[in-house]
Chain A
Amino acid sequence: MMSLIEQIKNGKLWRYLGGVHPQENKAQSTSLAITTASIPKHLIIPVKQHIGQGGQIIVASGDRVLKGQPLTASDSFMTVPVHAPTSGTIEHIAQYPSTHPSATPEIAIKLVCDQEDQATPAQPALDYKQLSTSELQQHISQAGVAGMGGAGFPTAVKLNDRQPIEFLLINAAECEPYITSDDVLMRERADDIIQGIEILRHMIKPALCVIGIEDNKPDAAQALEAAIKTLSLSADIIVRKVPTKYPNGGEKQLIQMLTGKEISKGQIPAQSGIVMQNVGTVYAVKQAIIDRQPLLSRIVTLTGKAFPQPRNVQALIGTPISALLTEFECDEANAAAIIYGGPMMGFTLPHAQFSLTKTGNCILTPVKDEIPQVREADACIRCGECAEVCPIDLLPQQLHWYSQAKDVKKLNDYNLMDCIECGACSYVCPSQIPLVHQYRIAKVEVRESDAELAAATIAKERFEKRNERLALEKAQREQRQKEAAEKRRATAKATTGEDPVKAAMERIKKAKAAEQVVTNAQESKGSAVADAIARAKAKKAAAASTDTAVPDTPLPNNEAVIAERKARKAAAKAKREAESSQPAEITTSPAIEAKKAAVADAIARAKAKKAAALSSEMATTATDTPAPAVDAKKAAVAAAIARAKAKKAAAQSGETATDTPAPAVDAKKAAVAAAIARAKAKKAAALSGETATDIPVPAVDAKKAAVAAAIARAKAKKAAAQSGETATDTPAPAVDAKKVAVAAAIARAKAKKLAAQANTVEATHAPESPAPAVDDKKAAITAAVARAKAKKLATQANTVETTHAPESPAPAVDDKKAAIAAAVARAKAKKLAAQANTVEATYAPESPAPAVDDKKAAIAAAVARAKAKKLAAQANTIETTHAPESPAPAVDDKKAAIAAAVARAKAKKLAAQANDVNPTIDPGDNVQPTEPVDNKKAAIAAAIAKAKAKKLAQLGDK
């Protein structure tokens, strides 16, 4: 049994099934020698003339290029560069319709030829025998050599030595009718072809090289054999004639004929040890290596009856078809079509403006009856002729049905993708069904379907990965939070010595217990008083304090309020404790919590007051017992304040709280004491530079004040008992500052009520009086707000104004209270303005009642009223409405603060005057409302007034 090579050498040939025998029509174009086409006016060179990517363009518009100069660069064998076929200038690089049935636009370089054909400097031939395969590959690739047989596959890729190659097959079949370009090439340039083969043989070292040629080309075969003999290569290169049949020139068909090997679906010939190259490609390799000339031109068959003389032409790559048609006198009017390629596999060009590519081997321009016209397809008659001729052994009829149905699965089952689109089936179809056209469309469907499936698989994978990522992130987050919480707990435990979680749990329990008691009390009794008592008891129990029996005197009417305040306090306390640790769930009712908050505020205020009073000596002369205020209410409030102060003193300095000799149950005494207390407070404030606006809100009535005083006394006694002091009749502030604050707050509330009812001067004042502002800014803010409101009022009512309130709000330590107070004052002012249209309503606050006596206070009030009226009469504008304190609607808070200070100072002065014998300053004068038409003046006046007041106060004290 001979080996395959021996068999082949012996002349064995194999066959493939199918194929057709169309009319050859080749003789027309082989009578003439190859003509070199003239250089056209311009060339349009597509950048990409093969599958895959095109090279990088390395020239620009306007560049002058020489023949053979590379126009694109590439760094991989799969991308083949293109070169300038002749010298000229680059006109532009733009999109041109590609020479393809789809005419898809592609980038091409338009080269205007200068007809000089100036070449790049010549280079010596390469001694290929000394070069390695990869070096030769590089040269071939850089020379732009691609497959010239029709597919344009980059040649260098095939010529590698990775796999052992047994056979090098040269495709000289040229089976398609009309085309003779390879034929004449072999006839005229056989030596070059053999030289090219030698280069390839050096590169891939096959065991045998076989040139497969159809037996309708005897001259070409003869020429090749002669060349082989001349070079003494008969042992290595064999010329094998094959029976003419279409499509012998198909790669797999020729391999099968020459070697009997079938290349399986999805395989390349190299895997079977075979490399096949077209003769034109071999010629180009020889030119690249030996002539050192890149691929610049090719042989094109110009045939068809529209050409007077069909011939083969060597034309430059990129030559416009129209140039060829014109030069070779094609009768375009009579041409039925311009076919690029042969009658079987070529396609019709819509016009002649396309350019010649590296794979264009024929321009066929038949006249009307030369080629069967395309007619409307009939239905398939199931004759089976198509299956008889298919060279791949496919079933074109089935493919036809499934292509119509777009049944991708079945098309894959019937191997549609193996169809080489040779056209044999369409050629024989009696119904003239355009089968290949249908298959091309179906192939696109199959490719798209496969791509969709691949994309769907990827999408599914990405979706699942994303879900995993999100789950992982969530788990990590939770883990981190857990660790952080543990860490927090550990550090808390380490620093405070107790486990915060446990502490919080206990607090919650306690709070719940307290709440439980409260709710129980509420449910059982249903009376506010009882509830309050119960809450107080619960609180006591919770605090585990051991109060001695407090003389629980029958509480006056304001018991409910007191009790409510206590409850609020307790609630706020519990809430605060709970919140300070971990977010516990204290279920105190909102009402209780609110009350607690209010109580806390009151405490804060009291503390502030105490702070203010601290700086001054408390137990100094009871200089002037300012007569009780116009109203006993003030006395009670003053008592409360005094208590607070005393308490503070007792707590801090250990002195006997003596400053407020507790008034007896007697109202008068209470009032006196209150007055004394107020005076002291004012003095303290004046000394410390604060602005005291301390007209406490009067109690509802003297009785209540007395009662409150008594309570305070009792508490002071208790405190004294506890601390060892002899604070007998000192209404020393209760042990609990809160209680003082409570009393003060009660008094304020009562005052408010009064104000609403009585519409008296003082009424307006209520809320603010408490502590002198520690914070001027807050006062300023509230002052500004009040001024704005006053403005509004003035514009609305056009009354004198009542605004006044602003300054008064002794900015409590608490912004909120100040705001509330301001709002209340505003409301009152509004009401007053609306109701009384009185002038003086506003005035009271600042000119506090530390009048020496009622009379003086009344006088002062009257003066204020007059002034206000004057103001109103004068300006009747927004600004004027604003009595002293609201000098001008100062644009800025600072001025407002100054104005406030001024007002307060004035008030102080008034009081001081009442006490002193320093009449230098006429109350009337200084109280003059700076009628600030001009802000600046107001500021100046305010400053002056303030200074004066200060001086007065100091003088008065001495």
Chain B
Amino acid sequence: MTTILIAIITLVILAALFGLGLGWAAIRFKVEGNPVVEQIDAELPQTQCGQCGYPGCKPYATAVANGEEVNLCVPGGADTVEKLADIMGVEAKPIAEQEHDAGVKLVARIIEEDCIGCTKCIQACPVDAIAGATRAMHTVIVDACTGCKLCVAPCPTDCIVMEPVQTAWKWQLDSIPVVNIK
């Protein structure tokens, strides 16, 4: 009988000690912020386009960490959806709205003849990829443009077009535009 009692008391004491230890560790080693957010943000394409409904990729990452749907990132494509689903441990769903030519990367181009120098597109660009000043010519810095299309709407003269960016040749040997001449 006493053996059982000793055993029980010992276990209770041990449990209490471990509980206190865990509580202290929870406070002492507490991680500020949510590392999952950083992880998710690293998987997002950083176009800052807002198509997911959030003003940037970091806010969307925060939202996903809090349970938002993982299939809202359009530029990320199916790859990003799978990666996010992987991180969050949810099922990967297809993206809600898939645009035509989803895989082609677009960059903006300003038709300079029509530009009036109003700076509305400069204010709209989330990554400051348009160079220009008031009443001076505006031009898109192609290397910095993420193709988010936020500049197209504000332009009062409709002088911004989205064009596919030149990509490397992918060894499509059967598509070389060469004619056999003898």
Contacts and interface: CB of A to CB of B under 8 A. Distances in A.
A457 B46 contact: yes
A444 B129 contact: no
A444 B169 contact: yes
B176 interface: yes
A458 B176 contact: no
Nearest to A457: B46
A733 B144 CA distance: 79
Contacts, number: 68
B143 interface: yes
Given A460-B57, A462-B144, A463-B126, A437 B178 contact: no
A351 B181 contact: yes
Interface stretch (A87-95, A101-109, A148-156, A688-696): A101-109
Interface stretch (A74-82, A131-139, A447-455, A794-802): A447-455
A459 B171 contact: no
Q: Interface majority SS on A: helix, strand, loop or mixed? A: helix
Interface in A455-502: 455-460, 462-463, 465-466
Interface in B40-57: 44-48, 56-57
A452 B48 CA distance: 14
B170 interface: yes
Q: Interface majority SS on B: helix, strand, loop or mixed? A: loop
Contacts of A463: 46, 48, 56-57, 126-127
A177 interface: no
Given A351-B178, A466-B126, A444 B171 contact: yes
A459 B181 contact: no
Given A351-B178, A459-B146, A462-B127, A440 B171 contact: yes
B168 A456 contact: no
Contacts of A101: 171, 173, 176
- Which of B47, B171, B176, B180 counts the most chain A CB atoms within 10 A? B171
B34 interface: no
A28 interface: no
Interface in A891-937: none
Given A456-B46, A463-B48, A466-B127, A448 B168 contact: yes
A22 interface: no
Contact of A351 (B143, B171, B173, B180): B180
A459 B144 contact: yes
Nearest to A452: B45
B128 interface: yes
B3 interface: no
A658 B182 CA distance: 123
Contact of A437 (B57, B129, B171, B180): B171
A466 B128 contact: yes
Nearest to B148: A459
B2 interface: no
Nearest to A441: B171
A462 B169 contact: no
Interface in A732-785: none
Given A459-B46, A462-B144, A350 B176 contact: yes
Contacts of A441: 170-171
A353 B47 CA distance: 44
Contacts of B57: 460, 463
Given A103-B178, A351-B178, A466-B128, A458 B144 contact: yes
A104 B169 contact: yes
A97 interface: yes
A462 B128 contact: yes
Interface in B159-181: 167-171, 173, 176-181
A455 B56 CA distance: 15
Contacts of A444: 168-171
A680 B167 CA distance: 95
Nearest to B177: A103
Given A440-B171, A448-B167, A459 B178 contact: no
Given A351-B180, A463-B48, A102 B169 contact: yes
Q: Which 4 A-B pairs have the closest CB atoms?
A: A456-B46, A462-B127, A460-B46, A102-B169
Given A350-B176, A462-B144, A465-B128, 15 more contacts: A103-B178, A351-B180, A437-B171, A444-B170, A444-B171, A447-B168, A456-B45, A456-B47, A459-B127, A459-B146, A460-B48, A462-B129, A463-B56, A466-B127, A466-B128
13 contacts: A101-B173, A103-B176, A103-B177, A104-B169, A351-B182, A437-B171, A441-B170, A445-B170, A456-B46, A456-B146, A460-B48, A460-B57, A466-B126
